[in-house]
Structure 1
């Protein structure tokens, strides 16, 4: 199932990771492990935010998906199911 992960980084932990030079390494390791379909980075609500589109096969994948953000960056993490255009068309066709 395609999911959207939104990780909102704690400002102090993010600053620490940037100052120490660890943020690029941490993000690379995390992205290499998760292999997102898409990854976007910016600010939402005034905080550093990562938006990742992932294919999650089983709910047991939630801990390894979220923990790097929780443990290393004290991030708030949200995961929700999402659809692309084809998924939406397929779902809507089943309403008839």
Structure 2
């Protein structure tokens, strides 16, 4: 299932991770693990936030994906089911 990971990070904890030089490795490891079709980084409500859209094969993947964000950056993590335009068209066709 296509999902969007949204991780909104604690500023103080993430500052420590950035100062230690660990942030690039955490992001790289996550991206290698989930192989996102898209990844974006920015600010949401004044806090560092990343969004990654990827295909989740099984819900048992959630702990290993989310844990680095929880433990190292005090992040609030959400997994949201999402559709691309083709998925939407397929879903709408099933309404008829």
TM-score band, normalised by shorter chain: over 0.9
Gaps in structure 2 of 5+ consecutive residues: none
Quote how far apart the aligned CAs of 1:7 are: 0.2
What root-mean-square deviation, in Å, do the aligned CA atoms of Structure 1 and Structure 2 show? 0.9
- Give 4+ residue runs of structure 1 displaced > 4 Å after superposition: none
Moved more, 44-53 or 18-27: 18-27
* Structure 1 CA distance for aligned equivalents of residues 54 and 71 of structure 2: 20
* Structure 2 CA distance for aligned equivalents of residues 36 and 13 of structure 1: 25
C-alpha offsets along residues 35-93 of structure 1, whole Å, 9 cap, x if unaligned? 11110000011000000001011111111121111111110001110000000000000
The alignment partner of 1:50 has SS state of strand
TM-score by length of 2: 0.95
Gaps in structure 1 of 5+ consecutive residues: none
* Structure 1 CA distance for aligned equivalents of residues 9 and 56 of structure 2: 22
Moved more, 20-29 or 10-19: 20-29
Match of 2:80 in 1: 80
* Structure 2 CA distance for aligned equivalents of residues 95 and 33 of structure 1: 35
